[in-house]
Structure 1
Amino acid sequence: METKQTMISKDIPRTPMAEESWRLPNSVQHLAANVQEPPSRYLLREQEPYGGNLAGTKIPEAIPTIDLGLLSASSDTQEANKLRSTLQSWGFFQVSNHGIETSLMDSVMSASRDFFGLPLEEKRKYSNLIDGEHFQIEGYGNDQVKTQDQRLDWSDRLHLRVEPENERNLAHWPIHPKSFRDDLHEYAMKSKRIKGEILRAIAKLLELDEDYFVYQLSDKAPAYARFNYYPPCPRPDLVLGVKPHSDVYALTVLLVDKDVGGLQVLRDGTWYNVTTLPNYTLLINIGFTMEIMANGIFRAPVHRVVTNAEKERISVAMFYGVDPEKEVGPIPHVLTEEQPARYRKMKAKDFLFTHYDDFSRGARIVDSKI
């Protein structure tokens, strides 16, 4: 595995923090093991955007499954039509025939559990707080805490840059368990191939050159792996694992826990439970960046994670973004007099800064500022 330790990524916020104790969130995993009631900072509030119905509703139809082998076949239009339909209706789908072995997915999930099972002091060696004063997206911890009244999520995560390969910061890549780095490297390489196939298929749906989005997500574009850990919560009726949001990047590949559910997606004002399956599942969804480039033809799904009173849950997300120096805006080819630009242009790095600011407040950037 060829890697190089580098300085902190310049395209992600790195924010100085004051000494107020409220800015330093606890390890939720440690908190869950020592409290009988969640602290007030984790409790849902009245009038919270996209709140309510934490029990969720049974999804009315099976999540579409796209066969990547058929999708890549230029003569097969049925799979492409299925992809178009699901991007316009749900914004996410399962993939089959994707080329990632079950054994590798199992190894990645096992390494994730082993990492979060380490003593707290060992995990804090990879903290996303530099010298206890600067927050950065990479590393182990939680989201940035910007305000004293910010509601916190019931989850811990490990967020690692995997692309470009020569910008990986190995200081944040765990050395325990021993298989972690090699498993992540292999998984990232195979997930990258899936990303390419999906991006080419979406380009064809929009009647673009098939490599249009592959070029937009160039060799300089960032890709991140985020390992999410949701410990048991004593009040799943009042606490969310992750607040409602849409992903900011162009595309997400999500490895879902096969034993414990919790992912919910919002459609027409109703929260639907994404059903767990007996085998490991890869879910794909588009994010804000793709929604903007497609001028709203495809919508980034709003989703959240609910908590469980008895069981922990783990997921692994791969996020694929645009070169931070490139402008994100509607593609001229998809604009018409009847469908003018719905979003303004913005540099990808500025778009990221705005998103992280809005996410801390539970707002959706596309609805408010773009």
Structure 2
Amino acid sequence: MSNSLLLGRSLPVPNVQELARSDQIPERYFKPDVDAASMASIDDDELPVIDLMKLLDPELIDREELLRLGSACKEWGFFQIINHGIPEEVIEKIKDDIKKFFKLPLKEKEAIKQIPGHFEGYGQMFVHSEEQKLDWADILILAIQPSQHRDMRFWPTNPSTFRDTLETYTSKVAKVVDCLYGLMAKDLGVDTEEMLNISSSGQLQTVRINFYPPCKQASKVLGLSPHSDANALTVLLQANDVQGLQIRKNGKWFLIKPKPGALIINIGDVMEILTNGRYKSVEHRAIINMEEERLSIATFHLPRDDVVLRPFPELIGSDGELYKVITVKEYIREFFSEKLNGKNALESVKLRK
């Protein structure tokens, strides 16, 4: 199968949930570059919060809210959305099933562990060498769309509702993302149909379900190394009340405090390329709590493999195109070929450094 999902292969690593039960933390998890000193905090009103209901009716579209969305994409690269239309019971069910899955005995979880040469399953990502520093997390990765890319060997059957729950949640997330693409086209002044054709027609949708165990030496480890996402748009749902997502802004790390029922959206590298740098993908990372586990589910959206990434013509100014012309498949291969490291992959395709 010629599919960029298969490009993200990773070496097997120890199970962190099991390691967390002992006081012994292997040296490979200690990261010298965890810089707690550069921390700052985001007040609730600083990270943009977009009310999607104000933008859903094209006849009654709230211009101020649309400007707020555009500003969030250009200045922050991250925002929260409320009134997104996904029923509360769907949100609560996916949270519940995620928690139940990670409470299963290790043997049962490892029945769907990653196998050599495959991206999906229970394990880890971006591990390319035996010497590489590791993230303090266990993850489950699944391909969702197109449906023919699904490998059901890796889809949990326990809890028994997991598959249906994930199907329902991700289909509703896809509708929210299509809505956001249309709104972003309006903000940017580009053709809506062209945006939707590139971004959502046959697009790839994958999920990364994250379990970050507590760690007694939390200040020395990271749950997820600093990086920007390769895709177009990411939708993150926090599955419990433990905070840990940080974004880098103005040289400082800001802790995001999710609003109840909100979804966190972030711009990926592909969207930065398509908008010729108008919208920004932003470095983010996950920190660890000393006492409590943290769970989340990230849903990634990416154009088809064969889509050529180049800016919308309306967004090419006097400086011309800022990035090399590259296909989605070529960019994803570049992104997955190295360990997570800031915005290195995007920097590698910039025409002017």
Please classify the TM superposition score into its range, dividing by the shorter chain length: over 0.9
> Residue 53 of structure 2 corresponds to which residue in structure 1?
69
> Residue 282 of structure 1 corresponds to which residue in structure 2?
263
> Residue 367 of structure 1 corresponds to which residue in structure 2?
347
* CA distance in structure 1 between the aligned counterparts of 2:211 and 2:2, rounded to whole angstroms: 23
By how many angstroms is 1:148 displaced? 2.7
> Residue 341 of structure 1 corresponds to which residue in structure 2?
321
Equivalent position SS for 1:308 = coil
| Cα contact 1:135–1:144 (8 A) shared by 2 | no
> Residue 5 of structure 1 corresponds to which residue in structure 2?
none
Q: What is the RMSD computed on CA atoms of the aligned residues?
A: 1.9
| 2:321 equivalent to 1:350 | no
By how many angstroms is 1:14 displaced? 4.8
- TM-score between both structures, scaled by the size of structure 1: 0.89
Count of matched residue positions in the alignment of Structure 1 and Structure 2: 347
Residue in structure 2 matching 1:308, options 242, 266, 289: 289
* CA distance in structure 2 between the aligned counterparts of 1:276 and 1:113, rounded to whole angstroms: 18
Q: What are the Cα deviations for residues 76-96 of structure 1, in whole angstroms up to 9, with x where unaligned?
A: 211110011111111111111
Q: What are the Cα deviations for residues 216-238 of structure 1, in whole angstroms up to 9, with x where unaligned?
A: 12443210111110011121110
By how many angstroms is 1:361 displaced? 5.0
* CA distance in structure 2 between the aligned counterparts of 1:16 and 1:112, rounded to whole angstroms: 23
Structure 1 gaps, min length 5: 1-7, 18-22
| Cα contact 2:38–2:252 (8 A) shared by 1 | no
| Cα contact 2:225–2:340 (8 A) shared by 1 | no
CA change 1:54–1:236 in 2 (3 A) is farther
Structure 2 matches for 1:114-263, cutoff 5 A? 114-129=100-115, 134-263=116-245
CA change 1:229–1:9 in 2 (3 A) is farther
Q: What are the Cα deviations for residues 110-133 of structure 1, in whole angstroms up to 9, with x where unaligned?
A: 10111111111111111112xxxx
Structure 2 matches for 1:32-71, cutoff 5 A? 32-34=20-22, 36-45=23-32, 48=33, 51-53=34-36, 56-60=39-43, 61-71=45-55
CA change 1:54–1:240 in 2 (3 A) is farther
> Residue 98 of structure 1 corresponds to which residue in structure 2?
84
Q: What are the Cα deviations for residues 276-326 of structure 1, in whole angstroms up to 9, with x where unaligned?
A: 44x232111110000011011110111000001110000011100010111
> Residue 68 of structure 2 corresponds to which residue in structure 1?
82
| 2:4 equivalent to 1:11 | yes
Residue in structure 1 matching 2:273, options 257, 267, 292: 292
Equivalent position SS for 2:67 = helix
- TM-score between both structures, scaled by the size of structure 2: 0.93
* CA distance in structure 1 between the aligned counterparts of 2:101 and 2:38, rounded to whole angstroms: 29
> Residue 110 of structure 1 corresponds to which residue in structure 2?
96
CA change 1:192–1:16 in 2 (3 A) is closer
* CA distance in structure 2 between the aligned counterparts of 1:113 and 1:266, rounded to whole angstroms: 28
What amino acid maps onto 2:132 in structure 1?
A: Q
* CA distance in structure 2 between the aligned counterparts of 1:28 and 1:135, rounded to whole angstroms: 21
| Cα contact 2:120–2:143 (8 A) shared by 1 | yes
What amino acid maps onto 1:158 in structure 2?
A: L
